[in-house]
Structure 1
Amino acid sequence: MTLRSGTRQALILETLAAMLAQPHAARITTAALADKMGVSEAALYRHFSGKAAIYMALLDSIEAQLFEDLGHIAAAEDQGARRLGRQVHALLLFAERHPGRTRMLTGDALVTEDWQLQVRLGALIDAIQAELAASAQAAHPDLALAADPQLAGGLLMHWVSGRWLRYAQTSWQALPTARHAEELALMGLRLP
């Protein structure tokens, strides 16, 4: 049975994410990825133009999933503070459920890769921060933290990024959602 191209591409991305989820994963080569899949490197190159393209596609899939989740919350939740709290929780929960993708979000997996991937990751983080700032603006005046939505979005994005990083640094032991509501309460953000 032959797989459709889209299915094979998804399988390549899932395999890469699974390899990245291994604690203390070393730099992943296309040879190692192909070996893990039981295919030749040439088979990978039939679906992606190179290693950077594989990583870029994984970043694209991460962005699509995150913004689907954040958008769903924004559409379903009218109350700004609740929306913001739920969105922050969704970002933490995404990382908890997808350790390999978390290594991408922290930039750890991209350190030795094409610099364009770091630029792309920076744009993704900026977009998430802008979404948090928009929710913070909707939360004002109910939330003191939201008096300056841009500052609030930046603070929350830094905090979320720190949670992601700690999760990766502890080999997936320090769960991002652990006691997160208490820490957010210290910043004046109470979750529903």
Structure 2
Amino acid sequence: MSANQKPNRKQQILECLALMLQTSPGQRITTAKLAAEVGVSEAALYRHFPSKARMFEGLIEFIEESIFSRINLILGDHKEALIRCHHILHVMLIFAERNPGMCRILSGDAIMGENERLGIRVNQFFEKLESQFKQVLRERKLREGKGFDIPEQALANMLVSYTEGKISQYVRSSFSKKPSDDFNEQWQFLMASK
């Protein structure tokens, strides 16, 4: 029975951490505050996670799994490059909107002053997202016989920069300026200059 309780407690700790990141914008989350929110001792937190950094890594893993599993579904359902890119961007923005606490991690706000490897993990996430866009854009030549006016690398970087900017804006606005605001109009503008 204790084996069943451990994953539940671990999940509860991560959910509390995500909620605290959302409800305490700009504040540093300490293990003492987190333990109090979960209703356990700090020692109990460390029975489930060897460090606070590992707790943040658990949230980063959740972000990666959520986003890239959805991207795989998009790639399976759609063949046209621009539709794929549109859906991938939209998934990123809606995920951010629904998970404000995670945005504090993606923007670097919550992990400032924490273990350096957390920033590296977030950078790797965005590099993987950019590689995914680049692959989709390169496949356009093969599948559709069309290219772009700028190199695929530059366009992929622009799409990721747009995403990062929307997430950072959401965090800076204390979660009032939603990432998906004006997305359709902005997408139309981007595609008009393709």
Partner residue in 1 for 2:126: 125
Quote how far apart the aligned CAs of 1:152 are. Answer: 1.1
- Structure 1's unaligned 5+ residue stretches are none
Alignment partner of 1:151 is 2:154: yes
Residue in structure 1 matching 2:165, options 162, 166, 172: 162
Residue in structure 1 matching 2:187, options 177, 184, 188: 184
Give the length in aligned residue pairs: 189
Kept in 2, the 8 Å contact 1:13–1:54? The answer is yes
Give the residue type in structure 2 aligned to 1:148.
P
Structure 2: distance between partners of 1:23 and 1:95: 16
Structure 1: distance between partners of 2:25 and 2:161: 23
- Structure 2's unaligned 5+ residue stretches are none
Structure 1: distance between partners of 2:104 and 2:192: 27
**TM-score (structure 1 length as normaliser):** 0.92
Quote how far apart the aligned CAs of 1:144 are. Answer: 3.2
Structure 1: distance between partners of 2:36 and 2:140: 49
Partner residue in 2 for 1:8: 9
Partner residue in 1 for 2:40: 39
Q: Give the SS at the match of 1:21.
A: helix
Structure 2: distance between partners of 1:189 and 1:156: 15
Kept in 1, the 8 Å contact 2:26–2:109? The answer is no
Correspondence list, 1:5-84, <5 A: 5-84=6-85
Structure 1: distance between partners of 2:168 and 2:176: 11
Q: Percent identity?
A: 31
Quote how far apart the aligned CAs of 1:135 are. Answer: 1.7
CA shift digits 1:131-186 (9 cap, x unpaired): 111122233455636x5221111000001100000011111111111111211222
Q: Give the SS at the match of 1:110.
A: coil
Give the residue type in structure 2 aligned to 1:144.
F
Cα-Cα RMSD: 1.8
Partner residue in 2 for 1:95: 96
Q: Give the SS at the match of 2:96.
A: helix
Structure 2: distance between partners of 1:129 and 1:38: 40
Give the residue type in structure 1 aligned to 2:151.
D
Structure 2: distance between partners of 1:142 and 1:70: 22
Partner residue in 1 for 2:115: 114
Kept in 2, the 8 Å contact 1:20–1:103? The answer is yes
CA shift digits 1:53-110 (9 cap, x unpaired): 1111111111111101111111111111101111111000100010001111111111
Give the residue type in structure 1 aligned to 2:105.
M
Structure 2: distance between partners of 1:19 and 1:59: 15
